Amino acid sequence: MTKPPVYIPPEPPAGPQPPVKARVTRRMILTAVIFIAAIGAVILYASVDPSTNLYPRCSFRMLTGLSCPGCGSQRALHALLNGDPAAAFRFNAILAIEIPLIVLLIVSRLAGDRAPRLRKFLSARAFILLLLSTIIIWTVVRNILEI
Amino acid sequence: MKYWIIIDSVQKGPLSVEELYAIPGLSMSTPVWHEGLADWTTAAAIPEIAAIIASRQNGFSNQQPYGQNYGAAPQQPYGNQYSQPYGGAYRPQAYGQPQYSQPQYGREPFDPERMPPMPDNYLVWAIIATICCCIPAGIPAIIYASKVSPAYMRGDYNGALDASSKAQMWIIVAFVAGLIWAPFSMLLGLL
C-alpha cells in the first residue's frame, strides 16, 4: 500500500491578521425589514382604530359574505394593544390560541437544540392537524353563530 | 477512497469517509492526504471531507431561508477565515451523495448522526397567513407543515425537504395575494 509522504507543517502566518469583515447576509437584511415592519405595524394598529379607518379588508368576506378564520384580527390587535383583551377576544376568539402558539413557536426556534422535546411536540403531525381542525371548526362555528 | 489525516500532530490512516465522520477534532485546516496527491493538503480542499465539517458547523441553522442564525454556535476552532467559504456554500443536496451511504431517496431508518437537521416547516408563517391574508392558501401551507416532521422521522429527508418547500410556496402565495389585495380593498372601502 502506498504510504503518505512526510508531513511538513506550513509556516504560521507572519504578523497580525487583517480583521475578518462582518458580512451582511440577505437573512440579516430580511430579519431587519420584518422587525422594522412589525414595530411599524404595532404603532399603527395601536394608534388607529381599524373599524373606522382606511384599512385592508378581508377578500374572503367581501367575496362570500362569510367570515374567514382571521376576520376581526385587525380590530382585535387594536383592542389588545390598547389594553382590552376582552374586546380582542370578542373580535376574534381564535387569536387567544394563535398568539400564544406563535410566541411558543418562536421560543422553540430560539431555543433550538436546547429544547428538543418542545420542538418535536410543536412539529408533530398530530399537533399541527389538531391546530388545522381547530381553525376550520372555528370558521364554521363563527359563521353559524355570527361572531 | 482512503484518507490519511494529522490531528494533534498524530498521523492517522488509512481512514474511510465513514471513519472520518466519527472523528471529533476534524476541521477545515486538518492536514489530509490520499493516494494520488503529491503532498499533503487541508480538509477544506477535499469536498467530501469539507462537507462533513460544514454539516457540523451549520448545524440547525442551515436550511432556514428566513430568520436568523437560531442554531447553536458553530464550532470553529481555527477561526472564521477557514470556514466561511464553506459555511455559506454548503447545501443539503450533498447528502444525497453516496459517501453518507444514503442512496438517492433515504429510506433507511432514522439516524440523527447521518441526517442533516430537519427542514423548517414554517408553521409560524402558515398561521400568520391564515390570520391576516384572508386567502385560503394558508390551509395547504399548514397541511404541508404537518408533513415535514413525519417524513423526517421515518428517514425520508427528501420528502421532508419537499414538504417544507411546498409549505413555503403556499405561504408566499398567501402573502403575495394578500399584498396585491390590500390596496384594492382599501380603495373599495372608500366607495
Chain A contacts in chain B segment 25-44 (CB below 8 A)? 31, 33, 35, 38-40
Cis preceding-peptide flag for B14 (omega within 30 of 0):
yes
The CA-atom distances, in angstroms, between A85 and each of A77, A94, B149 are 9, 13, 34
Interface test with A, best of B123, B153, B171 (most A CBs within 10 A): B123
On chain A, the residues whose CB falls within 8 A of the CB of B132 are 70, 73-74
Mean pLDDT by 10 residues, chain B (191 residues): 83 82 81 83 82 69 42 45 42 46 47 72 89 78 92 87 92 89 79 66
Q: The cell 480538509 sits on which residue?
A: B43
Write down the pLDDT at residue B170: 92
Q: What is the residue extent of each domain of chain B? A: 1-106, 118-191
Task: Report how far residue B12's alpha carbon sits from residue B15's, in angstroms, rounded to the nearest whole number.
Answer: 7
- What tens digit of pLDDT does each residue of A101-113 get? 999 999 998 888 8
- What tens digit of pLDDT does each residue of A45-56 get? 888 888 776 788
> Rounded to 5 degrees, what angle do the CA atoms B29, B21, B54 make?
50
Q: The cell 494533534 sits on which residue?
A: B8
Task: Report how far residue A41's alpha carbon sits from residue A71's, in angstroms, rounded to the nearest whole number.
Answer: 17
Residue in chain B nearest A53 by alpha carbon: B189
Answer left, alpha or beta for residue B120, where phi above 0 means left and psi between -120 and 50 means alpha. Answer: beta
Tell if the CB–CB gap between B124 and A102 is shorter than 8 Å: yes
Sign (positive or negative) of CA dihedral A34, A35, A39, A40: negative
Tell if the CB–CB gap between B60 and A68 is shorter than 8 Å: no
End-to-end CA distance of chain B: 73
